[in-house]
Structure 1
Amino acid sequence: MTITSHGEELILDKERALYLPQHKLLAISDLHLGKSAHFRQAGVQVPSTIAQSDLQRLTLLIEKHNPSTLLINGDMFHHGLNTDIDEFASWRKNYKELNFLLVKGNHDKLAHADYNSMNIEIYEPSFCLGPFCFIHDAPQCTEEELYPISGHIHPGVSIVGKAKQRLKFPCFYFGNAYAVLPAFSLFTGLYNIYPKNNERIFAVTPKNVVEV
């Protein structure tokens, strides 16, 4: 789905990603690589294919939009170094020409040397581009006149069907003060968003993105 926000065209992708064509920038939030491996290390039986699935989705997004820059808007890595992150480091080598930017989130605790070894450029607390300011936890922004785009809360929306069944989906939220991206990783929960007047919510369904 294509929308206009603050004078710029934005593409809301059903793979829980935001693409800014004018800047050739693909943005995702809350990738949480390493989360499943961290749980397994703690004795929790979590499938080892979660990180592989998320990276495969990311591969398809890169092939689809052909960005020059990939921005992860916080919580790229869930914990310390582990097998999931080793897998990402190997995957990263396939995209040597692609700029990787990370706006650090509360789970991003690797050493700077670890990020450097994977050719990831770090921004803290925000990365600003055009009329937007990407920051992990809204609504704070380093440039007050810019519109913050955040992540962190894993936004979701509940929709009631014709048979009164209630379905819950990840969503994009564009509020009056700031926007929130859906969590990219499939291994996350959802926090229900309730819009105010003149605010917009776009549900991410299995087939497409729809405004609700």
Structure 2
Amino acid sequence: MTLNIQINDRDFILHCSGALYWVEKQMLLISDAHLGKVSHFRKHGAAIPDGVMHKNFDKLDSVVHHFNPALICFLGDLFHSTLNNEWHLFQDWVARTPVPMVLVAGNHDIISPKKYKDINITIVSEWVHDGFLLTHHPEERDGLFTLSGHIHPAVLLGGMGRQFLKLPCFFRSPNQMILPAFGEFTGTYVMEPREGDIIYVITKDDVVQVARKEQ
């Protein structure tokens, strides 16, 4: 279900939900939940089962219960689009989750900051914290290790008979790590590892490091 790693002498735990837990800070990091996406697509005629909408909140409950964090940091694209009926579900979830929350705004986060302030969520454009840059868009900045999202990284794993399996992953390069999308109703982008990159594949029940590209 989890995998323990170190980044710059700090301890982190990778969770099969796609969440990342920073042990020393007791901080849970979640990227690209895209809440409200199901309702957004339904509004435009897409037939999507009710269960998909509630899976995101079930996942949030599960990972918060697992880590019992002191702080939750959303690395952007928390809500997919404009307000819809899933906002009420999110409000209810926040109300029953007594943990301080910070949103590092992403490109999909277009809901008025006042709505987040009303439910005690702090919004920032980025957060530099203890040598780490917490941001939505991947970037490299001198002297900092970046934790980001946005890309929805995945990797193709080859098998026998020219078969390939595409799985979401934590994509780590020497100076940053891109988190997988947390949301259930999201696509993925296949990454091409280079020398020095590390891939942590996530499955339904586990996180596994695949072969590291050596420098």
TM bin (shorter chain): over 0.9
Q: Secondary structure at the match of 2:116?
A: helix
Q: CA separation in 1, counterparts of 2:204 and 2:36?
A: 25
| Aligned residue number for residue 201 of structure 1 | 199
The equivalent of 1:139 in structure 2 is 139
Q: Give the whole-Å Cα distance in 1 for the aligned partners of 2:128 and 2:41.
A: 34
Q: Corresponding residue for 1:129?
A: 129
The answer to whether the 8 A contact 1:170-1:204 is kept is yes
Rounded Cα–Cα distance in structure 2 between residues aligned with 1:203 and 1:2: 13
Residue in structure 2 matched with residue 179 of structure 1 by the alignment: 177
Tell me the distance in 1 between the aligned counterparts of 2:5 and 2:175.
17
Report deviation, 1:140: 5.2
How far, CA to CA, are the matches of 1:102 and 1:48 in structure 2?
26
Distance 2:5 2:162 in 1: 29
| 1:81–1:110 contact (8 Å) kept in structure 2 | yes
Residue 139 of structure 1 and its aligned partner are, at CA, apart by 0.4
CA contact (8 A) 2:144 2:175 kept: no
1:60 to 59, 62, 78: 62
Aligned length: 208
Describe the superposition over 1:118-154 as per-residue Cα deviations: whole angstroms up to 9, x where unpaired.
2111011x1122221111001055xx31111110010
Q: Distance between the aligned counterparts of 2:46 and 2:160, measured in 1? A: 38
- 1:39 to partner: Cα distance: 0.6
Letter in 2 for 1:139: E
- Partner SS, residue 195 of structure 1: coil
**TM (normalized to structure 1)?**
0.94
Q: Is the 8 A contact 1:160 1:167 kept in 2?
A: yes
What is the CA-CA distance between 1:176 and the residue it aligns to? 2.0
- Which residue does 1:118 correspond to in 2? 119
The aligned residue for residue 36 of structure 2 is 34
TM-score, with structure 2 as normaliser: 0.93
| Letter aligned with residue 121 of structure 2 | I
**Does structure 1 conserve the Cα–Cα contact (< 8 Å) formed by 2:91 and 2:119?**
yes
Aligned Cα RMSD in Å?
1.2
Percentage identity across aligned positions? 34
Aligned 8 A contact 1:36 1:46 in 2: yes
Rounded Cα–Cα distance in structure 1 between residues aligned with 2:50 and 2:119 = 22
The answer for the alignment partner of 1:44 in structure 2 is 46
Q: Which amino acid aligns with 1:129?
A: H
Residue 166 (str. 1) matches residue 164 (str. 2): yes
Q: CA deviation at 1:162?
A: 3.6
CA drift of 1:163 comes to 4.6
Question: Conserved in 1, the CA contact under 8 Å of 2:140 and 2:176?
Answer: no
Paired position in structure 1 for 2:100 = 99
For structure 2, the 5+ residue unaligned runs are 211-215
Aligned to 2:213: none
Unaligned residue ranges in structure 1 (runs of 5+): none
Which consecutive segments of 4 or more residues in structure 1 shift more than 4 A?
A: none
Deviations 1:89-114 (A, max 9, x none): 01111023x01110000000111211
Match of 1:6 in 2: 8
